[in-house]
């Protein structure tokens, strides 16, 4: 059969196709996704499940005049294919290539750069209000949201507002596959489950929205019909579509844990990763937390819909009554952790560092204000890589540095990860432990100590390099280059980077130049705190990431661009010494 994809460059091309060709097109798109995402890595299962919905959306609505926004934009690959970006998939998630999320820079069909969950309904509410106030035309505003995203509180804040404005048409396309990363949890999930079995009065109708469905989310004709009905209602309406994550690809359908939600470079025939399996920081954390759980019955774990990616799945299997998945609800996770801590337990809340931003108020006012023993474990801290600016975990040190009583640890290797996690859960106040998305490197043993700070190497006291966490390895490389050029260089790992420890204060006292190196924002992180305690005769150089939204690329590429390699650190120190000689 003649292929169709090469002839589809715009949604107009799609709308011109006869209906009888659409099932074949859906199969082509799935084959294309499997080939391209297997080659590059990326989000596969979520996109395989939304093929028919996206086709129907672009046949019924006229993007970009009709606004279509995707909640958690990793489900927008099919949208990209149908809006003229098919050729870009050879560069998917690479430096300078096609983004793995909607991107306003890429296309007029992308109205926002959505990649954090539960926000699309609020965007749609504001866009509909904006059109009303500015005298815009009667075009539709459509928000595509998953059932997993409805576990996030901001989605219900938006629904509360959408339902109260019955004259303002916003179409909520609910892509219900029963999952986010993991199965969807909570009362909302139970309610949707009952609706799948038998239509009844819905919570959406109680809030003032119309409800259409449930409809088979893989039946294009049925989807087009219900979407046209929704458009003609000219009122806020929920279109409930039932889909299967990973639909049409057996390896994804058989992967019961995540349905191949996100994959590395993979063999498309089997769905199995290519290349050797490596131990990651996340694996090391998972093992150590289980070991601690055996010894401490007061230890409980909390995940915000990501038990597997954050390493808590193993703890949940070992201690099923002591692990809580609260859904995509980081604010609730931290406030609930505060309640658990008030009850005499020690909660460990494991989240991606980028998602800690969503719970800043709870960290400050619910945990720290009450001086509660809650441990935050921040996976994907620093530069994350191909997921781009929304997923780099580069703001955590800056945010936590202003929280009174907060202690933050940054292990340089997995041996220190085990030590510091044990110290964290033994502490009687709030703590955080951060580590990157990366393979675990070699152990970097200490050559000595100053208080609770580790001295990693020392050839003199001209320059003191303070290495934050995984920056220890490139700092040691830089120190070797500088020592070979005749400088006396000492490298120290503070282990606990916030607040500035007595041991680090002592180490700083004997050095004329102090250089801090971190994979967080240089101007306002751990280095900035250390600068405040240095004496008037000391020169301080803070190296780290710029205060900017950093694009996608591999972790090694982006760290190199920021100068956070051995060579880059040595160059920055030499340059500073030329300006401020010792």
Annotated binding site: 74, 115-117, 147-149, 177, 249, 330
| CA–CA gap between residue 391 and residue 101 (Å, rounded) | 11
How does strand 489-493 pair with strand 453-458? antiparallel
Torsion region of 375: left, alpha or beta (phi above 0 gives left; psi -120 to 50 gives alpha): beta
Q: Which residues of 219-252 are buried (b: 16+ CB within 10 A; e: fewer)?
A: bbebbbebbeebbeeebbbbbbbbbbbbbbbebb
The tokens describing 441, both together, are 């490197």
Positions marked catalytic: 245, 330, 358
Cis peptide before 499 (omega within 30 of 0): yes
How many residues are listed for the chain in this entry? Answer: 582
For 550, phi then psi, to 5°, come to -90, 135
What is the rounded distance in angstroms from the CA atom of residue 217 to the CA atom of residue 221? 10
Please name the residues in contact with 582: beta carbons below 8 A apart, sequence gap of 6 or more: 462, 463, 512, 513
Q: How far is CA 389 from CA 86, 90, 95, 343, in A?
A: 22, 20, 12, 38
Residue ranges for the known binding site for thiamine diphosphate are 74, 115-117, 148-149, 177, 249, 330
Please state the φ and ψ torsions of residue 207, each to the nearest 5 degrees.
-85, -5
CA angle 263, 110, 170 (to 5 degrees): 105
- CA Rg, the chain, in Å? 26
Residues contacting residue 2 through CB under 8 Å, at least 6 positions apart:
none
| Angle (nearest 5°) at CA 139 between 60 and 215 | 35
What stretch of H or E contains 281? helix 281-295
Contact status, residue 395 vs residue 451, Cβ threshold 8 Å: no
* Residue among 227, 263, 272, 305 at smallest CA distance from 66: 227
Which run of H or of E encompasses 466? Answer: strand 463-467
Order of all β-strands in the sheet with 237-242: 67-70, 141-146, 171-176, 237-242, 210-216
Residues annotated in the binding site for Mg(2+), as ranges? Answer: 147, 177
Q: How far apart are CA 57 and CA 71, in angstroms?
A: 15
Return the structure tokens found at 493: 């790992």
174: tokens are 């609910």
């Amino acid at each position: 059969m003649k292929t169709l994809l090469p002839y589809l460059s715009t949604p107009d091309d799609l709308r011109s196709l006869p209906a009888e060709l659409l099932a074949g097109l859906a199969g082509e798109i799935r084959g294309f996704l499997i080939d391209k995402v297997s080659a590059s890595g990326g989000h596969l299962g979520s996109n395989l499940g939304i093929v028919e919905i996206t086709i129907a959306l672009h046949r019924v609505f006229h993007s970009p005049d009709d606004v279509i926004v995707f909640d958690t934009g990793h489900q927008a690959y099919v949208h990209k294919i149908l809006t003229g970006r098919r050729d870009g998939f050879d560069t998917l998630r690479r430096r300078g290539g096609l983004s793995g999320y909607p991107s306003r820079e890429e296309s007029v069909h992308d109205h926002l750069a959505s990649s954090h969950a539960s926000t699309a309904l609020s965007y749609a509410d504001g866009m509909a209000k904006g059109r009303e106030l500015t005298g815009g035309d009667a075009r539709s505003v459509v928000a595509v949201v998953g059932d997993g995203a409805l576990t996030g509180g901001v989605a219900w804040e938006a629904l509360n507002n959408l339902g109260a404005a019955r004259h303002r048409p916003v179409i909520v396309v609910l892509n219900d596959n029963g999952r986010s990363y993991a199965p969807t949890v909570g009362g909302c999930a139970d309610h949707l489950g009952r609706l799948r079995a038998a239509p009844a009065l819905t919570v959406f109708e109680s809030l003032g929205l119309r409800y259409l469905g449930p409809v088979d989310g893989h039946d294009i004709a049925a989807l087009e019909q219900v979407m046209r009905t929704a458009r003609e209602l000219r009122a806020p309406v929920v279109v409930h579509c039932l889909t299967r994550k990973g639909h049409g690809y057996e390896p994804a359908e058989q992967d019961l844990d995540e349905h191949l939600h996100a994959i590395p470079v993979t063999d498309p025939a089997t769905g199995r990763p290519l290349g050797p399996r490596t131990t990651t920081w996340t694996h090391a954390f998972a093992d150590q937390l289980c070991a601690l759980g055996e010894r401490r019955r007061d230890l409980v774990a909390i995940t915000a819909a990501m038990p597997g990616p954050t390493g808590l799945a193993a703890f949940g299997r070992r201690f099923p009554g002591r692990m809580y998945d609260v859904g995509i609800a980081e604010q609730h996770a931290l406030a609930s952790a505060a309640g658990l801590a008030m009850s005499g337990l020690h909660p460990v809340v494991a989240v991606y560092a980028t998602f800690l931003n969503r719970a800043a108020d709870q960290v400050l006012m619910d945990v720290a204000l009450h001086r509660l023993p809650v441990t935050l474990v921040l996976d994907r801290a620093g530069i994350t890589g191909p997921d781009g600016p929304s997923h780099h975990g580069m703001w955590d040190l800056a945010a936590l540095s202003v929280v009174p009583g907060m202690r933050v640890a940054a292990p340089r290797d997995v041996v220190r990860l085990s030590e510091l996690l044990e110290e964290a859960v033994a502490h009687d106040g709030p703590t955080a432990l951060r580590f990157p998305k990366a393979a675990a490197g070699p152990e970097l043993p200490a050559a000595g100590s100053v208080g609770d700070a580790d001295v990693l190497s020392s050839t003199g006291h001209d320059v003191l390099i303070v290495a934050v966490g995984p920056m220890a390895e490139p700092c040691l490389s830089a120190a070797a280059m500088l020592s070979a050029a005749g400088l006396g260089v000492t490298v120290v790992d503070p282990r606990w980077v916030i607040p500035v420890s007595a041991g680090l204060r002592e180490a700083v006292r004997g050095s004329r130049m102090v250089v801090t190196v971190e994979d967080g924002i240089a101007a306002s992180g751990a280095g900035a705190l250390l600068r405040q305690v240095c004496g008037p005769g000391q020169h301080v150089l803070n190296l780290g990431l710029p205060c900017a939204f950093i694009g996608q690329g591999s972790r090694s590429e982006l760290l190199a661009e920021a100068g956070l390699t051995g060579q880059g650190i040595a160059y920055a120190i030499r340059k500073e010494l030329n300006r401020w000689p010792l």
